[in-house]
């Protein structure tokens, strides 16, 4: 009898389920889990699927739309044909269940009235599915709900690899053998031990048997690994397969790889990626494991691939970011330069607010914002607390001018009339203090306005004020986080990763050096060695990151990870206490 676990999983990305960014390979290197789990690394395509843990999941919901709610979850965890565990719970959706759903599933409002809410059980579901390859019948539906729920509840879903039994059945079973590929039809075809009943656990159990049946159908095709079935399921050109030798001379370890194209115009970088195992990862681009059309096109255009070895995941992420910024590779989705904006309190006799794209001096700034729209909203939030002038002319403190219409309406304090200039200076000082890290005045002013509007039943306008405050608050928090790292001339920090220690030298928010202390090494001595060779960094503007904002945010994220220890610090790494009001 053929091995029922000799098959493949269907690779899908977050983008397929509604995310903004497609996954590079199965997982991206900076996000990969630490070693030591039972689950094999999913970029090892030659691993036997007998060693992979599968989690078969099914959901019942209040409808088919994206904004419908989950009413029941059922999941079965299996490995090598053995059932490892089951997960089942009803969910209180917080909304009324439609009658047609109740007739279909038997789940009514009364059934779920005492059931937990999704947020109460989602952490348990995440742990149950961790380190598993997910399986679902019509995975786009079930995993779409799961990923949207994870995003809404603030969880990072632990798996991006999914087997869709619908898609697998369509490739394995000819249409003349079944009338359709619904779960009930396939359950009858394979004589499953459990009949689907539109209840989550029963349907998950039936899907397990359907999966067994499908795997038996391909088991006699010499399919014994993930790569085998990827080749079985997809076809690739001989020209693309022949380029697999490009990976032979690449490093075995972690780092950054980039595909290049040599032409009469010189060399250009087509694509940049990262991996824990560069050679193995690059080799997958020349197999059916890589099924993205744009990657197929990129490989056809490339004339070679090169790599940069890195010590740590953070170093790899930073090198990748720098290469993308420098070369703008056309096949990276992140190739476009980010457009940051800032709110600046202008440096003139009678200051005002201005939206700018760069921080060029030591004036008072609020930001960064991801674009102009957010900055525009945040400016309106600042005006709620501080009635600064809104005209754009440069005013003199010695020449009087006629007040504008805004002054007559009481919106502007009219410093142009030279009356109350001293009070206006005090107002400007308050704005500087606010931008330096005290968001409370803006929060108080926005809260007061929202309460007034709500008392007048003007809820839509109150909602607009709330959005302005949120834009301002996010920018204040983001700016404080950046400045906290950027104002430190040097930070030396270490973090345990398995038996090793990642060690980084950070200067003015830029990664200046990285290494790893292996078992038996003295981390302090390794840190001293990194310091001796670390890059000299000088910021262009005091208090601002020496590198890009994106790089400093990568560094800040690493520093905030659990287990990071500061070995040495020059400066103060901390946030103003009232940045988040």
Q: Which residues are catalytic?
A: 198
Are residues 153 and 164 in contact, defined by beta-carbon separation less than 8 angstroms?
Answer: no
Helix (H, G, I), strand (E, B) or coil at 344: strand
- Classify residue 253 as exposed, middle or buried by CB count within 10 Å of its CB (0-12, 13-18, 19+): middle
Handedness of CA 13, 14, 15, 18 (dihedral sign): positive
Residues 314/558, Cβ–Cβ less than 8 Å: yes
SS3 148: helix
| Residue 442, C-beta contacts closer than 8 angstroms, at least 6 positions apart | 381, 382, 384, 385, 434, 469, 472, 581
Residue 250: which of 305, 290, 213, 287 has the closest Cα?
A: 305
Tokens of 387: 């009635």
If residue 554 lies in a helix (H) or strand (E), which one and from where to where?
helix 549-559
What is the chain's length? 581
Burial of 152 (0-12, 13-18, 19+ CB in 10 A): exposed
Helix (H, G, I), strand (E, B) or coil at 353: strand
Report residue 390 as tokens: 């809104």
Q: Are strands 53-61 and 133-136 parallel, antiparallel or unpaired?
A: parallel
Q: Cα(166)–Cα(183) distance, rounded to whole angstroms?
A: 8
Can the peptide bond before residue 84 be classed as cis, meaning omega within 30 degrees of 0? no
Token pair of 293 as six digits: 């059309």
Q: Report the C-alpha gap between 86 and 510 in whole angstroms.
A: 46
Instruction: Collapse the DSSP code of 205 into the 3-class scheme (helix H, G, I; strand E, B; otherwise coil) and give the result.
Output: helix
Instruction: Compute the distance between CA of residue 305 and CA of residue 282 in angstroms, rounded to an integer.
Output: 8
3-class DSSP state of 505: strand
571, two tokens? 């400066």
The answer to whether the CB of 134 falls within 8 A of the CB of 162 is: yes
Token code pair at residue 150 = 């994870």
Max Cα-Cα span within the chain: 96
Distance CA 548, CA 485 (A): 13
């Amino acid at each position: 009898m053929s091995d029922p676990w000799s098959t493949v999983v269907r690779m899908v990305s977050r983008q397929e389920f509604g995310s903004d960014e497609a996954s590079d390979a199965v997982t991206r290197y900076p996000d990969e889990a630490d070693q030591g789990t039972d689950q094999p690394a999913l970029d090892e395509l030659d691993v036997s699927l007998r060693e992979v843990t599968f989690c078969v999941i099914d959901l019942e919901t209040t409808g088919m739309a994206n904004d419908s709610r989950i009413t029941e979850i059922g999941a079965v965890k299996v490995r090598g044909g053995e059932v490892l565990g089951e997960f089942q719970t009803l969910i209180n959706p917080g909304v009324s269940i439609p009658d047609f759903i109740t007739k279909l599933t038997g789940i009514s409002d009364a059934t779920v009235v005492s059931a937990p809410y999704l947020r109460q059980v989602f952490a348990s579901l995440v742990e149950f599915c961790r380190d598993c390859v997910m399986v679902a019948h019509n995975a786009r539906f079930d995993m779409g709900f799961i990923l949207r729920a994870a995003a809404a509840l603030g969880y990072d879903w632990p798996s991006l690899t999914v087997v869709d039994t619908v898609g697998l059945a369509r490739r394995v079973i000819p249409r003349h053998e079944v009338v359709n590929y619904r779960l009930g039809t396939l359950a009858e075809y394979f004589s499953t031990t459990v009949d689907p009943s539109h209840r989550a656990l029963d349907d998950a159990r039936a899907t397990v048997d359907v999966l067994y049946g499908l795997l038996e159908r391909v088991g006699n095709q010499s399919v014994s690994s993930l790569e085998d079935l990827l080749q079985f399921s997809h076809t690739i050109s001989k020209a693309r397969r022949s380029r697999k030798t490009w990976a032979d001379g690449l490093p075995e370890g972690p780092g950054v790889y980039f595909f290049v194209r040599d032409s009469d115009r010189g060399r250009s970088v087509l694509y940049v990626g990262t991996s824990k195992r560069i050679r193995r990862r690059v080799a997958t681009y020349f197999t059916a494991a890589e099924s993205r059309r744009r990657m197929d096109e990129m490989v056809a255009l490339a004339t070679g691939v090169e790599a940069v070895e890195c010590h740590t995941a953070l170093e790899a992420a930073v090198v990748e970011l720098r290469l993308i910024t420098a070369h703008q590779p056309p096949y990276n989705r992140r190739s476009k330069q980010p457009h940051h904006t800032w709110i600046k309190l202008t440096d003139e006799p009678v200051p005002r607010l201005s939206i700018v794209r760069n921080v060029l001096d030591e004036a008072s700034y609020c930001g960064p914002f991801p674009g102009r729209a957010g900055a525009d909203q945040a400016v309106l939030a600042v005006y709620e607390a501080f009635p600064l002038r809104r005209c754009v002319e440069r005013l003199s403190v010695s020449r009087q001018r006629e007040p504008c219409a805004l002054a007559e309406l009481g919106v502007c304090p009219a410093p142009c009339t030279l009356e109350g200039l001293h009070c206006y200076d005090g107002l400007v000082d308050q704005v500087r203090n606010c931008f330096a890290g005290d968001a409370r005045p803006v929060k108080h002013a926005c809260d007061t306005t929202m309460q007034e509007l709500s008392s007048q039943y003007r809820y839509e306008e109150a909602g607009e004020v709330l959005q302005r405050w949120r834009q301002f608050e996010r920018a204040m928090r983001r700016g404080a986080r950046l400045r906290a790292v950027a104002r430190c001339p040097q930070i030396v920090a270490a973090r345990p990763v398995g038996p090793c220690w990642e060690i980084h030298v950070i200067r003015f928010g830029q990664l200046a050096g990285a290494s790893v202390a292996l078992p038996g090494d003295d981390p302090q001595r390794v840190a001293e060695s990194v310091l001796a060779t670390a890059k000299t960094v000088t910021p262009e503007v005091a208090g601002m990151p020496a590198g890009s904002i994106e790089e400093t945010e990568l560094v800040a994220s690493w520093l905030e990870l659990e287990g990071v220890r500061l070995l040495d610090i020059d400066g103060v790494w901390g946030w103003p206490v009232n940045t988040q009001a």
